[in-house]
Structure 1
Amino acid sequence: MIEQEANFDGLVGPTHNYAGLSWGNVASNRHAKSMSHPREAALQGLSKMKALADMGLVQGVLAPQARPDTDTLRRLGFAGTDAQVLDSAFREAPHLLAACSSASAMWTANAATVSPGADTLDGRVHFTPANLVNKFHRSIEHEVTGRILRSVFADEAHFCHHQALPAHDDFGDEGAANHTRLHNEQGHGLELFVYGRRAHQPGAPAPRRFPARQTLEASRAVARLHGLSECKTAFIQQNPAVIDQGVFHNDVIAVGNGNVLFYHQQAFLDTQGMQAEVRRKLPDTELHFIEVKNDEVPVADAVKSYLFNTQLVTLKPGHMALIAPTECAGTPSVNAYLERLLAMNTPIREVRFMDVKQSMQNGGGPACLRLRVAMNQAQLNAVNPACLMNDRLYGRLTDWVQRHYRDRLHPNDLRDPALLEESRAALDELTQILELGSVYPFQR
């Protein structure tokens, strides 16, 4: 059966703040400790979701994590009432309070790896939450992420859910941020797993400055869990030199959709080998490899603008649109390239700019904000309908944000026990709007 791709965006959480927790993410480090605007961030995210739904695309919503995470703080030795836990953590270890208050789950490209039923042995859509072990503040997400995914994709006849991989550096897994799928018009697909390093090959190419968050061993494990055959997978190494320039995930330097792979010249360690393998495993497919040369767009400009952290979506056969942050229009080399791109004979026929500044300043563009889930019609019919974007849901969520989110937030505000109560009240109501049940620890 022909599948259609749905985008499930993560709602920005009430504790959206700039703590600079992500070493290797240039934007995150640049804006550390500055004032954030949670309400504006959440409304920007909702506006993007509504815009894609209005384009005729299937658009879903995923709930954020519950933050601050007082359960984890208690596991780290902070005791007493919630207010006392927050205060003592702020005084003794503010970096731990910041980590346990992170709203980074908004970037659902990191939430999980998803394989469509067309690729898997049992014909079901498979989900594996990412363990995100490279960053403490993200490594505590996967349990609740799994519960949320199970509530949205609950029908076991159509969906299969796995546990996150073991929490060890050898199996560092960053989800769909290092995974994409190419396919032809008949729906025959190839899943590209992009890794930064091999865990058990001393001397193998690896970055020296910033960490390689995805291992080959993790990618192969996810492929096994999902029942993917060798002909349905390609394991490609990211260029270590580009990781050291701030490209912490592959989706910062490449994006694929359908028969198009759009990437920077320095994205992969062996570009020719990648192309050859994709052509071999997707025969009889008119593939478009769109390579952006470094003298057209330097890596620094690609990272600053998030040219490749864009959503590449199909609006109709042979007609794709690039959903780009407004920063692309404001970066001269990128804007000039996009003008040339639209004059090329490729399926990318238009660029639509969207304002996601609050996300961009924290290190994530449009592609970071969404998890791609390809489904056939029967599988789509089995999705929790309360989580699918439409005019009514957009109105309810916009009102919900306006009532519950603060206009501005400084990292020092994370110690405020009122923020914890506000966040829990907001998320408790959200689970009712999205009909998720009790997915959060404070509800159980």
Structure 2
Amino acid sequence: MKAVEANFDGLVGPTHNYSGLSYGNIASAKNSAKASNPKQAAKQGLAKMKTLADLGLVQGIIAPQERPDLITLRRLGFSGSEQHIIQQAAKHSPKLLSSCYSASSMWTANAATVSPSADTSDKRVHFTPANLVNQFHRSIEHVTTGKLLKAMFPNEQHFHHHDALPTVNHFGDEGAANHTRFCREYGDTGVEFFVHGRHAFDNRFTQPQKYPARQTFEACEAIARLHQLDEANLVIAQQNPAVIDQGVFHNDVIAVGNRNTLFCHEQAYVDQANVYAQLKQKMGDDFRIIEVPTSSVSIDSAISSYLFNSQLLSLPNGETVLVLPQECEENSQVKRYVEQLVSSQQGIDKVMIFDLKQSMANGGGPACLRLRVVLNEQELQAVNPDVLMTDHKFTILNQWVDKHYRDRLVEADLADPHLLVESRTALDELTQILNLGSIYNFQQ
């Protein structure tokens, strides 16, 4: 059955700010305490979604999380009125308040791992929300993520929704940021490629020394079991701990794949030759690997430009396009390499550049912003149609952003109780626009 790869991008929430919460994410730390522009951030994301939809791709929207997360603050001992909770948290634990205000759910590559029906034994699309236990501000997302996914993909005949893995470091799971699927046609049985940073139960393997390895081998195995994947179509690789220690906190900062192509840096994996051999053995001799040498693009340049935190897309006209952030144009080393890549005819036909500076300043590029979901024709018909991008939806959402979002936000503003009211008012209206039902706690 014919299938397509749909991209569901995270809509940037109204509390988008730079609090530097993500240890190991260099951009996040570097821009900590700077003023953000939530309105511009949301519009940059919407512009990317609309451009890709106009190319004939299926493009969807994932709503933000409710922020601030007052339930978490109450669980941690703050009490009284909502205004009092915010004021006390701002006074006594401002970083905790920042965490509960974080708009990090915009990076939906971390929302879940998704396996298409062509790969699963029950022939349903499987979703497992990522527990994101390595970072507190993200570990509070997975329950609402599960609710959102069920509202977007509501038909149990076609979609199988799992709970997140146990919320302990042994099963640390970062979602699709460490997962890629290879295939020839999207409707064919694919090879699912999981990447981890460490083994939780086996200390014989090398681990990074400076920054945490967020994804575990055990989490990869557990998701493969939950999704009913055949071991014959599964490859699990370890990320190079040396590059994690340089700031490559997810696989999608050092590699991107689509269909029968892997585009990665030469330092991406432990025993990289063996990883290539496994993929070629399972995908066939026509599997294409585009390996970028350090002599062409250093690890520092790869991180600062987010060359690999890109989208590798198959357009309806047959072209393969690489979607890059504007920072790739601004890095002379990366720009030179990309120009050579396209002219060398290795399988990437053209490049598209997007201004995503608001997201990039917090360490998230084009790949971070999207969750890929392969859907056959029946499954696509079963998706909540109101979460799919159209001309009308683009107009309505831009008007919604103009109405509700601030154009400047600093960490000190999080103590303002009015921001809570503004955020809830915006999200309440958004659930109606996207026909999500009452998914937020304040709506119960």
Indicate the TM-score class for this superposition, using the shorter chain for normalisation.
over 0.9
Q: Is the 8 A contact 2:261 2:289 kept in 1?
A: yes
Residues 71-97 of structure 1: CA distance to partner in whole angstroms, max 9, x if unpaired? 111111111111100000000011100
> Which amino acid letter does the alignment assign opposite residue 387 of structure 1?
V
Cα pair 2:260 2:283 within 8 Å, conserved: no
Q: One-letter code of the match for 1:423? A: S
8 Å Cα contact 1:253/1:264 also seen in 2: yes
Match of residue 9 from structure 2 = 9
Matched-pair contact (CA < 8 Å) for 2:321–2:348: yes
**How much does 1:2 deviate?**
2.6
Q: Is the 8 A contact 1:318 1:347 kept in 2?
A: no
2:231 corresponds to 1:235: no
SS in 2 for 1:269: coil
Cα pair 2:11 2:62 within 8 Å, conserved: yes
Aligned pairs (5 A) from 1:205-284: 205-283=206-284
Aligned partner letter, 2:435? E
Do structure 1's residue 22 and structure 2's residue 22 form an aligned pair?
Answer: yes
Q: Secondary structure at the match of 1:199?
A: coil
TM-score, length basis structure 1: 0.99
Pairing of 1:279-428 with structure 2 (within 5 A): 279-283=280-284, 286-316=286-316, 318-428=318-428
Distance 1:252 1:355 in 2: 18
What's the Cα RMSD here?
0.9
- What letter is aligned with 1:212? A
Q: What is the CA–CA distance in structure 2 between the aligned matches of 1:228 and 1:287, rounded to whole Å?
A: 21
Aligned length, in residue pairs: 443
User: How far apart, CA to CA, are the structure 1 residues paired with 2:34 and 2:145?
Assistant: 27
Stretches (4+) displaced over 4 A? none
Q: Distance in 2 between matches of 1:317 and 1:424?
A: 42
**C-alpha contact (below 8 Å) 2:111/2:130 kept by paired residues:** yes
Map of 1:163 onto structure 2: 163
**TM superposition shift of 1:280:** 1.2
Q: Which stretch of the first structure deviates more once superposed, 338-347 or 301-310? A: 338-347
Deviation at residue 318 of structure 1 after TM alignment: 5.0
2:91 corresponds in structure 1 to 91
TM-score normalised by the chain length of structure 2: 0.99
User: Where does residue 112 of structure 1 map in the other structure?
Assistant: 112
Residue 45 of structure 1 is matched in structure 2 by 45
SS in structure 1 at match of 2:313: strand
Q: Deviations over 1:300-335 (max 9, x none)?
A: 000000000000100146521001000000000000
* Cα displacement (A) at 1:377: 0.5
Whether contact under 8 Å (1:158, 1:379) holds in the other structure is yes
Q: Indicate the SS of the match to 2:315.
A: strand
CA distance in 2, matches of 1:171, 1:395: 41
> Residue 339 of structure 2 aligns to a residue in which SS?
helix
Cα distance in 2 for partners of 1:44, 1:147 equals 26
Secondary structure at the residue paired with 1:291?
Answer: strand
For 2:201, the aligned partner's letter is: H
C-alpha distance in 1 between matches for 2:3 and 2:118: 8
Give 5+ residue unaligned stretches, structure 1. Answer: none
Aligned to 1:190: 191
Q: 1:430, 1:256 → 2: CA distance?
A: 32
Give matches, 1:28-177, under 5 Å: 28-177=28-177
Match for residue 436 of structure 2? 436
What is the distance in 1 between the residues matched to 2:247 and 2:276?
A: 24
Identity of aligned residues (%): 57
* Alpha-carbon distance between aligned partners in 1 of 2:189 and 2:385, rounded to the nearest angstrom: 27
